[in-house]
Amino acid sequence: MEPAKNNRHKTMQAEEDATLSKFRRRNKILIIIFLSFFISLILIISALIIHLMHVDDDDDQSSPQSDDDHIIIPHNPAIQAYYSSACYTHLCRRTLNSIFTTNSISDPNQIFTLSLQTASKHLRNLTSLISSNSVEKADITFKKCSNFLGHAMSRINDTLAIMRVNPFVGWQSDEQRSEMMNWIMAVEENLESCIDDLRDQVESTAVSEVRGKVSEVQVYVSSSGAFLLGYAEIMQEFWSTSFGGGWGMDFKFAFGLYGLQLVFIVSLFWSLFRSR
């Protein structure tokens, strides 16, 4: 009888241990599910807060920078980096804003090329205007100005030819960057020579029109030259804004949270199966 009692006792003890073990495993699973849900909820709330913060930032960035000028700087890292060093005057920003489609601008190099393309187009239209009946063809000043503009357009097109082969200034050789800088300086000299000649001309509608258009071209060319000179700093700011802060920092924050969640869940599962 005694052995039978011992066997029943052992059997009951084993059943109790099995039941207790199942209960513990079930509790651990419930804890894992609860904690996973809780952490996921925290991540969702954090993502929502980050999104709302960026909506506010977008509104701030899109607000006019000056009550007098009402110049809007698009919330675009490439444009902001370019404006910070290559186009910091109100006149420059107002002029360049007119040619931007912000969704298509993803790199400051694009702005450099777009500015030169716009300058070349304006010069082509100007030379056509001067050679047409809209401007007195016989006037020697306009002829000299047209020659200056033709030389300027040629140098701009030379620069654009290099950029078509390789659209990134940083990938150009030192000789190519130096050559482009010399061409842009030559363009600026030609444009200034045209302006100087027009200042000596008797004021008229035609003179004012040509001078105004040449001055606009000067803005595009000047910002392009400033971009070449400050290329390293502008690109550093662009990469820092794009991937070191703003959404880049938010991405790191979210990635860190998800990583911690994954490590925590894996640790819980490891503890669960280790104790089985």
Q: What is the per-residue pLDDT for 64?
A: 40
Question: DSSP assignment, residue 245?
Answer: S
Mean pLDDT within 265-276: 59
Confidence (pLDDT) at 20: 66
Please give the distance of CA 77 from its chain centroid, rounded to a whole number: 3
Question: Minimal CA–CA distance to 47: which of 248, 245, 251, 246?
Answer: 251
Average pLDDT of the chain to the nearest whole number: 77
- The structure tokens listed for 44 are 């969702």
CA 83, distance to chain mean position in Å, is 11
Buried b (16+ CB within 10 A) or exposed e, 47-64: eeebeeeeeeeeeeeeee
Tokens for 66, please give them.
């000056």
Instruction: Domain 85-241: give its CATH architecture.
Output: Up-down Bundle (1.20)
pLDDT at 172 over 60: yes
- In tens, the pLDDT along 244-266 reads 554 444 555 556 656 666 666 66
pLDDT tens, 174-214? 999 999 999 999 999 999 999 988 887 767 787 888 889 99
What pLDDT is attached to residue 62? 42
**pLDDT of 71 over the 90 cut:** no
Of 65-79, 96-110, 159-173, 242-256, give the lowest mean pLDDT range.
242-256
Instruction: Indicate the range of 112-121, 142-151, 222-231, 236-245 predicted with least confidence.
Output: 236-245
Any idea what the Cα angle at residue 201 is, between residues 195 and 203, rounded to 5°? 100
Geometric angle at alpha carbon 233, from 231 and 235, rounded to 5°: 65
pLDDT in the model for residue 270: 62
Assign 31 a pLDDT band (cuts: 50, 70, 90): confident
